[in-house]
Amino acid sequence: MTTSALRPVAPGPGLPPGLELGRSNNNLDVARFAGRLWLALRTAPTHAASAEARALVLVSDDEGETWALDRTIAVGRDVREPRLVPWQGRLLLYWHTAGTRGTKFEPDLIWVSERSDDGTWDEPEAISPPDCVAWRVRPVDDRLCMTVYRGAGSLSTTHPVPLSVELWTSADGRAWAPLDTVHPVVHGGGAEAEFIQLPDGRVSAVVRKAGPGSGRGSDIAMAPHFDPTTWITRPDLRTFDSPFLFLRGGVPHLIARRQVGFGGQYDLGLGFLPGRLRSRVDQLVYRLTPKRTGLFRIDPDALTATWIEDLPSAGDTASASAVETADGEGHLVFNHSSPVHKRWWPWALGQLRPTHIYSVELRGEAGEAA
């Protein structure tokens, strides 16, 4: 596999003149729709929650050489995880609102808006109760599916509760309900839950664990059908933050934040410490050590993730998304990162400094693991 030179996107020379960005640019998604390339991103003064945060939707007719501003979302509170979803000839945009205090994570509602043929977007519509975060929205068979995690608002309090992942479905992209309304939780202790349908109809998934009682690391899963009762799950001690799955040659590949030290593991194995202290030490070390954006190959049968290489990245990094290149021979990957030459920067320092959005092209066959 070959990786192209890094292209700066936001900020970058292809942005519209006069477009103002914050110091922190992250939380992105990319899609192809109507023969054009679309990019959604969050821009704000810092990585932390801010009333000045905005979600921008940019569109390009020349494969990302230049961009036009198509949509701005500014609601006086944080806006995160924008998701662009082409569906049945329509372009849908999902995001969630959060709080305004940088020391708190206060997820609010999930929203949807649709772009009309005349180039306008309709009024945003709330599609969830409070304390919900939508991580991924993708088609599976003849419906849209969304993974939602709940309980994250408690993590910054003195009484955190276990997180849970729910699987929601929709026939039209606007009316959503849990796949199982009686037992909506499909994963206990999970947060960012990524999934993709394979060419043979099976579904591959990666879930990052978080919160009390969740265990350590991540889960890799596969389902013969997208029914949680059929999921086969294998734990992995590595934490795959901000997971994004895509297919290369029909094989699922993962892009996620990677811990550079300790074999990539979050859990330092300090079993002699009391549970709460052990968790705090693991968390502190994780925040104070360098990270990279890693590319992994997923084996959906063995339920393993094999590291292939790191994309150019440093500091605060990894909210990647990718689409096939226009010729179908590679993938165009967008990612956020601190300045990539700051390779020693720990994750926590990167979150306090500016972050930019870059793109690279991946070409050729996925090589052997590094």
Neighbours of 309 (CB within 10 A): 16
pLDDT at residue 369, as a whole number: 42
Domains of the chain by residue range: 1-128
**Mind listing the pLDDT tens digit for each residue in 141-195?**
989 999 999 987 666 666 677 888 999 999 999 999 998 888 888 888 889 999 9
pLDDT band at 278 (very low <50, low <70, confident <90, very high): confident
Q: In what order do the strands lie in the sheet with 110-115?
A: 79-87, 90-97, 110-115, 125-126
When computed from its CA atoms, the radius of gyration of the chain, rounded to whole angstroms, is: 19
SS3 content of the chain, % helix, strand, coil (to 5): 10, 50, 45
Task: Return all residues near 123 (Cβ < 8 A) that are at least 6 apart.
Answer: 113
With 0-12 / 13-18 / 19 or more C-beta atoms within 10 angstroms meaning exposed / middle / buried, residue 32 is middle
pLDDT band at 230 (very low <50, low <70, confident <90, very high): confident
Burial 184-208 (b: 16+ CB within 10 A, else e): bbbbebbbbbbbbbbeeebbbbbbb
Q: Which residue has the higher pLDDT, 160 or 140?
A: 140
**Mind listing the pLDDT tens digit for each residue in 338-357?**
999 999 999 999 999 999 99
What does DSSP assign to residue 164?
Answer: E
**Mind listing the pLDDT tens digit for each residue in 1-45?**
788 889 999 999 999 999 999 999 999 999 999 999 999 999 999
| Cross-strand pairs, 112 | 94, 125
Q: In what order do the strands lie in the sheet with 54-60?
A: 24-33, 36-44, 54-60, 68-73
pLDDT at residue 213, as a whole number: 63
pLDDT band at 370 (very low <50, low <70, confident <90, very high): very low
Task: Return all residues near 65 (Cβ < 8 A) that are at least 6 apart.
Answer: 14
Sign of CA dihedral 310, 205, 29, 246: positive
What is d(CA 79, CA 75) in angstroms, rounded to the nearest whole number?
A: 8
Q: 11: cis peptide before it, omega within 30°?
A: yes
Asked if 24 and 45 count as a contact pair (C-beta separation under 8 A), the reply is yes
Task: Return all residues near 179 (Cβ < 8 A) that are at least 6 apart.
Answer: 145, 167, 168, 169, 186, 226, 227, 228
What does DSSP assign to residue 6?
Answer: P
pLDDT at residue 228, as a whole number: 65
CATH architecture assignment, domain 1-128: 6 Propeller (2.120)
**Mind listing the pLDDT tens digit for each residue in 51-96?**
999 999 999 999 999 999 999 999 999 999 999 999 999 999 999 9
Structure tokens belonging to residue 329: 């021979």
Q: In what order do the strands lie in the sheet with 291-299?
A: 241-248, 251-259, 291-299, 304-311
What is d(CA 233, CA 189) in angstroms, rounded to the nearest whole number?
A: 13
Q: What is the pTM of this model?
A: 0.94
pLDDT at residue 353, as a whole number: 95
With 0-12 / 13-18 / 19 or more C-beta atoms within 10 angstroms meaning exposed / middle / buried, residue 323 is middle
Residue 121 main-chain phi, psi, to 5 deg? -110, 140
**Mind listing the pLDDT tens digit for each residue in 263-275?**
888 888 888 888 7
Structure tokens belonging to residue 166: 């729910």
**Mind listing the pLDDT tens digit for each residue in 91-119?**
999 999 999 987 778 889 999 999 999 99
Kind of pairing between the strands at 251-259 and 241-248: antiparallel
What is d(CA 366, CA 309) in angstroms, rounded to the nearest whole number?
A: 10
Instruction: Report the chain's mean pLDDT, rounded to a whole number.
Output: 91
pLDDT, average across residues 276-285: 84
What is d(CA 228, CA 145) in angstroms, rounded to the nearest whole number?
A: 13
Structure tokens belonging to residue 358: 């870059």
Question: Residue 252 above 90 pLDDT?
Answer: yes
Choice among 230-234, 259-263, 278-282, 362-366 with the minimum mean pLDDT: 362-366
Asked if 300 and 222 count as a contact pair (C-beta separation under 8 A), the reply is yes
